[in-house]
A and B are shown apart, each in its own frame.
Chain A
Amino acid sequence: MKTIKVLGPGCTKCKNLEKNVRDAVAGLLGDFEVQKIDSLEEMMKYNILSSPALVIDEKLVATGKVLSVSELMDLLKK
C-alpha cells in the first residue's frame, strides 16, 4: 500500500492538490491511502519550505506546486 500525504495548512492550492491526488488515486488500480496533513508541526518534519507539499511513502516528492492529475498518476505508478 502506498501512503500519500498532502501537506498544507488549508489554502486554495493545498485543496487543489488534495483534490487532484484523490482524482488520480481514483483512476489507478492499487492500494492507496491519502492523508491530508494540516498540523504545522507534522508538516515541518518534512523540511518543506513552501506548501502545498506531497509526500509519498514518507518521501518528499514535490513542494510549492499543484501537480496535475496526470503528473500525479505518473508519480504514483512508479
Chain B
Amino acid sequence: MIKNFADWLIFGLIGLHEGSQLGEALNFFVYDTLKIIVLLFAMTVLMGFVNSYFPVEKVRSFLTQRKWYGADHLLASIFGAATPFCSCSSIPLFIGLLKGGIPLGVTLSFLITSPLVNEVAVAIFIGVFGWKVTLIYAVSGMIVGTLVGFGLGKMRLEAHVEDWVWKTVGKNPIQVAEVGEGTSLSVIDRTPGIFKDALDIIKGILPYLFIGIGLGAAIHGFVPNGFFEAWISPENPFAVPVAVILGVPMYANATGVIPILQALVAKGIPLGTALAFSMAVVGLSLPEATLLRKVMKPRLILLFFGSISVSIVFLGYIFNLVL
C-alpha cells in the first residue's frame, strides 16, 4: 500500500520516469520514510503499553524477589531491551538498581541492552533491513548484555564504582517511591498518554530520520553498485574493528545512521560489518561515557566499553561468516 502510494506520488503525480536516478531516489525516500514512520509508531505504542503495565520499578522488585543463579543477567538484558531508553536515565537506573540490591553485574547487563536494543532502533531496523536482520541484531544485543554483564560481575569490580554511589545506595530511602497513577488505570485511560508519548518520540527523531533516509536515497540513486567492495570486503580483517572503533564514540544518531548503512550494504559493504558498526553507534557513545564517568571510576568505564566493543567486533566477524 505504501509502495503504491510512493509509486503514484513520484512516477504518477510528479511524473518522474521509473528507472531514472532521481525518480528512483525520491521513490525510495518517500516509501522508506512512510514505512519507517508507521513502524516507529507501532513500536513505540507497543513498548509504551509494555512499560505502562510493567514499569522499571516492577522490574526491579521482580529481579530482587528471589535468587536467580545467573539467569538474572539474561532477564536484566531482556528488561533492558524492553525499557525505553533515555540517556539521561542511565545514572538513576544504575544507582536505583544497585539500591534495590541487584548485583553490579546484573545492573551492567541491564545498562548494556537498555540503549543497544531500544524500540526506536528496532523499528528502523525492521523498516530498512527487514525482520530477520532485526531479530539477529536484537538477540545478539541481548547476548552481549548477558555475557558481558556476567563476566564483569565475576570480576568483582564494586570498588571501581564511585564511592558516593555506594553511600547513596547504603542510605535509607527517604520515602517509598509510589510513582505513577497507580495500576488501576484501564487500557482506555492509558492509551491517550501512550499515543502522545509515541508521537513525541517520533517528532523528536524525525529530522534525523529525514537526513538519514535522504542520504540513503542519494546513495541508492547515485552510487554505482559494488562501489565499496574494493576496499571494505568481508575478507578485509580490519574492516570490522575499524567500523566498531569509529562507531563507539558516535552519539545516538541511530535514526539517521541505519538507513545510510542499509544503502551502503546495498552497494557492497558486508552486512556483518554494517551491523557491528550500528551496534557500536547505538549501544555506546562518548556522551554516555561522560555520564557514566560520574558513577564509575575510569577503570570500570574502560572495562565496560572495552568488553562491549570486543564482543561487538566478534559478532561482526560471526555475522560476516554466516549472513
Interface residues of A (CB under 8 A from B): 8-14, 40-41, 43-53, 58-66, 68
Q: List 11 A-B contacts (CB under 8 A).
A: A11-B86, A40-B91, A40-B295, A44-B92, A45-B171, A50-B93, A60-B175, A63-B179, A63-B180, A64-B56, A66-B200
Q: Does B164 contact A (CB under 8 A)?
A: yes
In the assembled complex, which residues on chain A have CB atoms less than 8 Å from the CB atom of B175?
46-47, 58-60
A58 to B179, CA, bound (A): 13
In the assembled complex, which residues on chain A have CB atoms less than 8 Å from the CB atom of B86?
11, 13, 50-51, 64
Besides A9-B91, A66-B200, 8 other CB < 8 A contacts?
A10-B88, A41-B168, A44-B96, A44-B168, A49-B60, A50-B93, A58-B175, A68-B196
Count, A-B residue pairs, CB within 8 A: 83
**CB of A15, distance to nearest CB on chain B (Å):** 10
Q: Are A47 and B99 in contact (CB under 8 A)?
A: yes
Number of interface residues of B (CB under 8 A): 34
Q: Are A64 and B89 in contact (CB under 8 A)?
A: yes
Q: Are A13 and B88 in contact (CB under 8 A)?
A: yes
A60-B177, A62-B179, A65-B197 known; A49+B56 contact, CB < 8 A: yes
Q: Are B96 and A46 in contact (CB under 8 A)?
A: no
A46-B177, A47-B175, A50-B56 known; A9+B88 contact, CB < 8 A: yes
Q: Are B200 and A50 in contact (CB under 8 A)?
A: no
A9 to B92, CA, bound (A): 10
A64 to B86, CA, bound (A): 9
Give 1 or 0 for each of B272-298: 1 = CB within 8 Å of chain A CB: 000000000000000000010011000
Q: Does B14 contact A (CB under 8 A)?
A: no
B87, B92, B95, B164: most-surrounded residue (chain A CB, <10 A): B92
Q: Does B229 contact A (CB under 8 A)?
A: no
Give 1 or 0 for each of B53-90: 1 = CB within 8 Å of chain A CB: 00111001000000000000000000000000011110
A50 to B321, CA, bound (A): 39
In the assembled complex, which residues on chain A have CB atoms less than 8 Å from the CB atom of B60?
49
Chain B's closest residue to A54 (CB) is B179
**CB of A12, distance to nearest CB on chain B (Å):** 7
In the assembled complex, which residues on chain B have CB atoms less than 8 Å from the CB atom of A9?
88, 91, 291
Q: Are B92 and A50 in contact (CB under 8 A)?
A: yes
Q: Are B174 and A46 in contact (CB under 8 A)?
A: yes
Q: Does B204 contact A (CB under 8 A)?
A: yes
Q: Are B93 and A12 in contact (CB under 8 A)?
A: no
Q: Which of B196-220 contact A (CB under 8 A)?
A: 196-197, 200, 204
Q: Are B177 and A47 in contact (CB under 8 A)?
A: yes
A41-B164, A65-B197 known; A51+B179 contact, CB < 8 A: no
In the assembled complex, which residues on chain A have CB atoms less than 8 Å from the CB atom of B57?
49
Q: Are B92 and A51 in contact (CB under 8 A)?
A: yes
Chain A's closest residue to B167 (CB) is A41
Q: Which of B253-274 contact A (CB under 8 A)?
A: none
In the assembled complex, which residues on chain A have CB atoms less than 8 Å from the CB atom of B95?
40, 44
Chain B's closest residue to A66 (CB) is B200
Q: Does B173 contact A (CB under 8 A)?
A: yes
Q: Are A47 and B87 in contact (CB under 8 A)?
A: no
**CB of A5, distance to nearest CB on chain B (Å):** 13
**CB of B101, distance to nearest CB on chain A (Å):** 13
